[in-house]
Structure 1
Amino acid sequence: MVMGDIATATDLLVIGAGPGGYVAAIRGAQKGLDTTLVEKDAYGGACLNRGCIPSKAFIHGADVVHDAATAEDLGIHADPAVDMSRMQAWKSGVVDQLTSGVEKLCKANGVSLLEGTASFEDEHTARIAHGGEGQGMETVEFEHAVVATGSRPIQVPGFEFADEPVLSSEDLLQMESLPDRLVVVGAGYIGMELSTMLTKLGTDVTVVEMLDDVLPGYESDVQRTIRSRAESLGIEFHFGEGASGWEETGDGVVVTTETEDGETSEYLGDAVLVAVGRQPVTDTLELESIGLEPDENGFLATDDRARTDVENVFAVGDVAGEPMLAHKASAEGIVAAEVAAGEPAALDQQAIPAAVFTDPEIATVGMTEAEADEAGFDPVVGEMPLRASGRALSMGESEGFVRIVADEESEIVLGGQLVGPNASELVAEVALAVEMSATLEDVAGTVHTHPTLAEAVMEAAENAQGQAIHTLNR
């Protein structure tokens, strides 16, 4: 400890108040641990303040605009005007309500809150640098620590975010007005979500992607559905091209791309959004002080109890590796806190769903057919196209499907892939089925409300059994 430092002690020190950190802190306090939560910026982390919540708020606004403007078939004629400054203020109100709620929940559960940046001195000591001139340092001794420092947008060489026309996803979500034309680098989930949103709000969007399709890692029919819908909205795609540079001209920003064969192209916009993924934040932690070293991708390796190679130090959320999902971070945070409290908790990665808020939405959980086959199962697949769903048709949203993958012999549900309206909500039923090792009969035999989108989950299970009523059996 340095002379003049304030010194405190705690059972559980949590570094970072995002969806992994604040959940770990609350659960730790609930389990009787004296818990201290350190946050340098804002409660809720990047997800609540600069990612998940702001983007979904804007996506909702964009959907309202688009639905109103394209409802002629329903006999509705409208030409909505978008006040982006007003929408930004509404979004900020949503964020402020949630961030203040997180802070209140932490305090109500007895969590001690510290503002500042934490770094390790040794395996049981951390120093907290408080923000602001003259705020000083604080030393905290701990029994257990949880690293939950999250992630930041990845920068492409030559496209530094400090340059004004080059935007990160976080920059874009703070804008009071939107560009008329935008070049988007990256067709992953962040690029596709924001491209769809911007197009619906009136921006002309051009997407360049090094790979040969949108949403790498998803099955081809999922990719095809999303790409086709995006193109119908007016998004222009250029695949097999990597962004190599940009320059400002009198007419805007020109982005240069290059193929593997060395062919170059140029695309004009008023700004360029770089959305090629996120990278973990560990550079402020001085991990070498406790003998921890991130892997080649910057992640901290953990076991199924969220423990790092240092037994009393846990890592949760984006710093602990893929999938980089807020709900996965929260689940890991709960496990870490319970293990620190001496309980036999562990995380089951198999039942963690993922969602992409494109148009239509995508949601997945568990195994695909190919993954089930590779894992040694004899998979059987059932599918319900939404064009056969009365509820989907009555919503004017019939693109997509619900697919369930099960083991043929036992009929245990192994996974599911959903594409369609509210897929992010519907996947919860399939996730529960995977978590509890439910069978196709369990899902198919559960009476679902009519007319609902959820019926498609039941129909997909029936289809896997060869007993579907509202779609042809395989």
Structure 2
Amino acid sequence: MAQYDVVIIGGGPGGYNGAIRAGQLGLKVAIIEGRGKLGGTCLNVGCMPSKALLHASELYDAATNGEFAKLGIEVKPKLNLPQMMAQKADSVEALTKGVEFLMKKNKVEYIKGWGRIAGPGKVVVKAEDGSETTLETQNIVIATGSEPTPLPGVTVDNKRIVDSTGALSLPEVPKSLVVIGAGVIGLELGSVWRRLGAEVTVVEYLDRICPGLDDDTAKVFQRSLTKQGFKFQLGAKVTGAKASAKGVELSFEPVAGGAAQTISADYVLVAIGRRPFTEGLGLETVGIVPDKRGVIANDHFKTTAPGVWVIGDVTSGPMLAHKAEDEGVACMELIAGKAGHVNYDLIPGVIYTKPEVATVGKTEEELKAAGIAYKVGKFPFTANSRAKINHEGEGQVKVLADAATDRILGVHMVGPNVGDMIGEFCVAMEFGGASEDVARTCHPHPTRSEALRQAAMGVEGWTMQA
């Protein structure tokens, strides 16, 4: 029976980054992954392949919608969808091999198969050929991630009615696509197929897009998507879907009451969120009971079972790869007897559409609800010289700061490359920075990052370029 300090079940961002940190700390560690490739949902059927398609479709859209011609570049693009999918697969394959290399580099034992807990300190791994191996360990880390949440009345067959995985590999560009759910996944994947030529309609139960996003920011974002051709049916409850060989008939009715409606589409994407994945994990053998949503509770990553830890999507907090990574590192540091900590107030969120959306910290609605007095600084990208010269002036930067101390409480951005720039505010906020700290820091000209500084200036009313 193999003996370890740590056995990690799940090879996604939380699991593999945790494994790397465990190896760095000198722990004997094994990581178990049933998919056959490391990287989890994020790398294999989530973050990375979607970004490959977002990038490719953005270039195609620029070439076909007149953007290239406006720049003096005349081309006649032709879509080669199989090649677009092939380059996506090649990129994913290179990344998964890179993660596997990092396991070897950090002396992590990578075991292919499905892991399940078989009592305190024991994990059984079932290989592809059906054989089973038992591992003995002082610590078990559950890092099994999440799966798409199903929608009652709408059966995903990944032919005509697809989940996020199926939407990454459609065999053709739909003439029409209905996206159920106006969240991050639905809007990103909807953007891919809209750019390639599909008519996209988004059906959302709530009366707004992107639940949890700052209201003002969500409205700016929706206006931009509408200009691009997105259609929205908000406040709509989906009641059923009938798939045929040629398409889907989707039924929905107003949440507020009213006549039911039917919409026809070539494909329907169900993107109403994700749920923790714990199937067949053997939680009952150590007395762990998930809540009604399937979430495994934790106290500084410890579960109710001694020696069993949990990180990532399968536990509480935002279902984001970078949150899981931070938890994986902190968890291993605690196991090794060191200090481990994650600041959940400063987990950034990004939507990789065009324009991008990036946010960190509190929204205006949260600050109002908490009774916190705050000031607002805003700056539009239409007034940023680099954005204007690049014909990408949509969006804005909004900085929220404490009215008394000027400490930055939240930042919400819609615009070009804001996903890369939100890190500046993450650092500032981690150090307890004030809006004036950013406002008085020299930023290079001409860059989009100047919009961040101008918005920070705006908190005290001295924006200079708008």
User: What SS does the corresponding residue of 1:90 show, helix, strand or coil?
Assistant: helix
Query: Hey, what does 1:24 align to over in structure 2?
Result: 18
Label 1:406 to 1:248 Cα distance change in 2 as closer, same or farther (>3 A): closer
Partner Cα distance (2:390, 2:305) in 1: 53
Alignment equivalent of 2:79, drawn from 57, 75, 82: 82
Per the TM alignment, residue 373 of structure 1 is displaced from its structure 2 partner at its CA by 4.3
Per the TM alignment, residue 375 of structure 1 is displaced from its structure 2 partner at its CA by 4.0
Do the aligned residues in 2 keep the contact of 1:226 with 1:359 (CA within 8 Å)? Answer: no
Partner Cα distance (2:34, 2:243) in 1: 35
Partner Cα distance (1:252, 1:137) in 2: 43
Partner Cα distance (2:231, 2:366) in 1: 32
Amino acid at match of 2:405: S
Query: Hey, what does 2:164 align to over in structure 1?
Result: 169
Do the aligned residues in 1 keep the contact of 2:159 with 2:166 (CA within 8 Å)? Answer: no
Query: Hey, what does 1:277 align to over in structure 2?
Result: 273
Amino acid at match of 1:290: V
User: What SS does the corresponding residue of 1:95 show, helix, strand or coil?
Assistant: helix
Query: Hey, what does 2:398 align to over in structure 1?
Result: 403
Query: Hey, what does 2:289 align to over in structure 1?
Result: 293
Alignment equivalent of 2:248, drawn from 248, 253, 260: 253
Amino acid at match of 2:442: V
Amino acid at match of 1:418: M
Per the TM alignment, residue 256 of structure 1 is displaced from its structure 2 partner at its CA by 1.3
Per the TM alignment, residue 107 of structure 1 is displaced from its structure 2 partner at its CA by 1.0
Cα deviation digits, residues 71-90 of structure 1 (max 9, x gap): 24333443422111000000
1:14-413 correspondence to structure 2 within 5 Å: 14-41=8-35, 42-69=37-64, 70-71=66-67, 72-132=69-129, 135-162=130-157, 164-248=159-243, 252-260=247-255, 261=257, 263-303=259-299, 305-375=300-370, 377-413=372-408
Label 1:249 to 1:281 Cα distance change in 2 as closer, same or farther (>3 A): closer
User: What SS does the corresponding residue of 2:314 show, helix, strand or coil?
Assistant: helix
Partner Cα distance (1:177, 1:342) in 2: 53
Do the aligned residues in 1 keep the contact of 2:215 with 2:365 (CA within 8 Å)? Answer: no
Partner Cα distance (1:459, 1:392) in 2: 14
Query: Hey, what does 1:4 align to over in structure 2?
Result: none
Per the TM alignment, residue 294 of structure 1 is displaced from its structure 2 partner at its CA by 0.9
Task: Show structure 2 runs of 5+ residues with no match.
Answer: none
Do the aligned residues in 1 keep the contact of 2:348 with 2:422 (CA within 8 Å)? Answer: yes
Cα deviation digits, residues 51-72 of structure 1 (max 9, x gap): 0000011001111011122224
Amino acid at match of 2:359: T
Identical columns (%): 37
Label 1:248 to 1:130 Cα distance change in 2 as closer, same or farther (>3 A): closer
Do the aligned residues in 2 keep the contact of 1:257 with 1:266 (CA within 8 Å)? Answer: yes
Amino acid at match of 2:121: H
1:462-473 correspondence to structure 2 within 5 Å: 462-471=457-466
Label 1:44 to 1:442 Cα distance change in 2 as closer, same or farther (>3 A): same
Aligned length: 462
Do the aligned residues in 2 keep the contact of 1:117 with 1:284 (CA within 8 Å)? Answer: no
Do the aligned residues in 2 keep the contact of 1:154 with 1:279 (CA within 8 Å)? Answer: yes
User: What SS does the corresponding residue of 1:196 show, helix, strand or coil?
Assistant: helix
Partner Cα distance (2:206, 2:19) in 1: 40
Cα deviation digits, residues 99-122 of structure 1 (max 9, x gap): 000000011100011111111121
Per the TM alignment, residue 391 of structure 1 is displaced from its structure 2 partner at its CA by 0.9
Label 1:198 to 1:250 Cα distance change in 2 as closer, same or farther (>3 A): closer
Do the aligned residues in 2 keep the contact of 1:226 with 1:358 (CA within 8 Å)? Answer: no
Per the TM alignment, residue 189 of structure 1 is displaced from its structure 2 partner at its CA by 1.1
Partner Cα distance (1:309, 1:249) in 2: 47
Task: Show structure 1 runs of 5+ residues with no match.
Answer: 1-6
Cα deviation digits, residues 342-365 of structure 1 (max 9, x gap): 112121111110101122111111
Amino acid at match of 1:86: Q
Indicate the larger mover: 16-25 or 182-191: 182-191
Indicate the larger mover: 255-264 or 203-212: 255-264
Do the aligned residues in 2 keep the contact of 1:378 with 1:408 (CA within 8 Å)? Answer: yes
The answer as to 2:409 corresponding to 1:425 is: no
User: What SS does the corresponding residue of 1:20 show, helix, strand or coil?
Assistant: helix
Amino acid at match of 2:80: D
Per the TM alignment, residue 266 of structure 1 is displaced from its structure 2 partner at its CA by 1.0
Amino acid at match of 1:252: G
Normalized against structure 2, the TM-score is what? 0.96
Cα deviation digits, residues 14-64 of structure 1 (max 9, x gap): 010000000011101111110010000120000000000000110011110
Partner Cα distance (1:449, 1:244) in 2: 52
Partner Cα distance (2:245, 2:428) in 1: 57
Per the TM alignment, residue 262 of structure 1 is displaced from its structure 2 partner at its CA by 5.2
Do the aligned residues in 2 keep the contact of 1:362 with 1:420 (CA within 8 Å)? Answer: yes
Do the aligned residues in 2 keep the contact of 1:415 with 1:431 (CA within 8 Å)? Answer: no
Partner Cα distance (2:323, 2:126) in 1: 29
